[in-house]
Structure 1
């Protein structure tokens, strides 16, 4: 990677040689993750208590560039609250869904760092470690495996990827229920609980929106470098903040078709197409306007009224 300030997700790292209809050979300069002990996850709450549906336990943690954690083979999903200083809390809450091709999660780059940045701005954040498709435990073997799965699942940039995981959607819905059920304890307004997702996390946020029952839909969501293919939009679709770099190699520009669907459904949507940033820019690539993304997201939330504190009667 030329820019070590941008620690991309597994998706971003293996997408550097993306073609319009298929992925090419795995790039020779792809950074190699180093297996690492699982880090402390203070405050992480089991999403389903002691009874977790799904596969056998056994997570594989690794580090990119010695500092950015990635996890694979998640079978016990968790939600980690990162709460703002009560003095500046707005009452809004955002569930943060990292990306990683549904086979890994970029926990530092697109999870904890994003959550702390939101909390610094008065927004309660909750990092969702959702269930993943299984991969080989060995790091080298898993890289080849993930590359093959991505190549099969990202054939047509004009269509939504076939690479998905329904368990991730179930976990998104469960995370919404958990935050709303504990709203008083965490100082948030249950009517102002939304999501923000990155890459596969963006797809998870979108799938959560689509799957939610009426009255249980996220109040809003950030769709950060997700695929831009058009979809059918529900009548009660929440406001969407759609951001992507126009030089994204994984989801090459075909216009903002998904946003066009929101407009056609007469639902609120805002679009940000950054000139540069590639895929996986997280909180931003230094020297590009992607560094403004989170502040633009927060300004958009404010414009929608989601950051306005309720006045006690």
Structure 2
């Protein structure tokens, strides 16, 4: 075999392998709700972390485990970034690949950010994308060999706020139905919130996320609406909370408030609070103690069967 032919076949196999690992699908079939015509373009900055801002075409990136490994569970992943950017690999694709290694489908949601200038009623937009993502995944459950009652969500930091918003506002009508897919339930079957932003009231508020989502001087009704500890009901999905006491970015009180609300509404809740870890630790692979949080996650997910 000559070198050009060998190179072509090698590249073909390589590209086929990449395609088999993940599939990227847009969330919306045609017109995207609350989007206005602008010249704004998506920005991708690749350093130690891939940071995506000004998302224009929201999508899901699907990572499926090998058929022999899959257990029927799926987790939609919402990366954090203060509603300004998405820490897309750090709190997204790396998490999906980790879940894949344990037989769980990992689906990263590239949601629109309210700091974009190409949006109207900006506070509604992340939830629109989150609801649509859940419905889209549920509609593909048979194709992807996912159990329709084993589709959960995971969110980090501001992505944790969006996840907890979906978990408490899944029945809220935030967009007009686009197709039959929008008749499906947007309720997650379970959720994991990792150092999440939860409240927009009091000293525990992460001001950057609050301002990005609902503005600098929002009406009190909007503050309460997105303070998700106030929105928990008996229909809120079972929840796992992960946080560090020394988190100076998003105070641990965010998780504590949500845990108390879950308990008051008799929703199954598990919480692991670590003395150290700070904010934004992702898989915490370099911390021999904190990295065990993923073991706790896997143990908990087994109880969701």
In structure 2, the residue matched to 1:169 is 127
Q: Which one has more relative contact order, counting CA pairs under 8 Å at least 6 apart? A: 1
Q: How does 1:192-271 map to 2 (within 5 A)?
A: 192-213=150-171, 216-227=186-197, 229=199, 230-254=229-253, 256-271=256-271
In structure 1, the residue matched to 2:298 is 298
Q: TM-score, normalised by structure 2?
A: 0.73
Q: CA deviation at 1:295?
A: 2.3
User: 1:79 pairs with 49, 55, 60, which one?
Assistant: 60
The separation in 2 between residues aligned to 1:74 and 1:196, in whole angstroms, is 20
2:281 counterpart of 1:284 = no
In structure 2, the residue matched to 1:44 is 24
In structure 2, the residue matched to 1:64 is 47
Q: How does 1:53-202 map to 2 (within 5 A)?
A: 53=33, 54-55=35-36, 56=38, 57-65=40-48, 68-134=49-115, 165-202=123-160
Q: Is the 8 A contact 1:239 1:269 kept in 2?
A: yes
Aligned pairs, number: 237
Q: Is the 8 A contact 1:97 1:196 kept in 2?
A: yes
Shift in CA distance, 60/228, structure 1 to aligned 2, threshold 3 Å: closer
The separation in 1 between residues aligned to 2:261 and 2:77, in whole angstroms, is 24
Shift in CA distance, 302/246, structure 1 to aligned 2, threshold 3 Å: same
The separation in 2 between residues aligned to 1:216 and 1:42, in whole angstroms, is 23
Q: CA deviation at 1:228?
A: 5.3
Please identify, of 250-259 and 294-303, the stretch whose mean Cα deviation from structure 2 is larger. 250-259
Q: CA deviation at 1:246?
A: 0.9
Specify which structure has the higher proportion of helix.
Answer: 2
Q: Is the 8 A contact 2:55 2:116 kept in 1?
A: no
Residue 304 of structure 1: SS of its match in structure 2?
Answer: coil
Give the CA RMSD over aligned residues: 2.1
Q: TM-score, normalised by structure 1?
A: 0.71
Shift in CA distance, 42/299, structure 1 to aligned 2, threshold 3 Å: closer
Task: Please give the per-residue CA displacement for 1:202-253, whole angstroms capped at 9, x wherever unaligned.
Answer: 0011111121129541000001101354424111111000001111001223
Residue 273 of structure 1: SS of its match in structure 2?
Answer: strand
Task: Please give the per-residue CA displacement for 1:114-134, whole angstroms capped at 9, x wherever unaligned.
Answer: 000001100011100000123
The separation in 1 between residues aligned to 2:301 and 2:87, in whole angstroms, is 24
Q: Gaps (5+ residues) in structure 2? A: 1-18, 173-184, 200-228
The separation in 1 between residues aligned to 2:252 and 2:134, in whole angstroms, is 31
Q: Gaps (5+ residues) in structure 1? A: 1-39, 137-163, 306-313
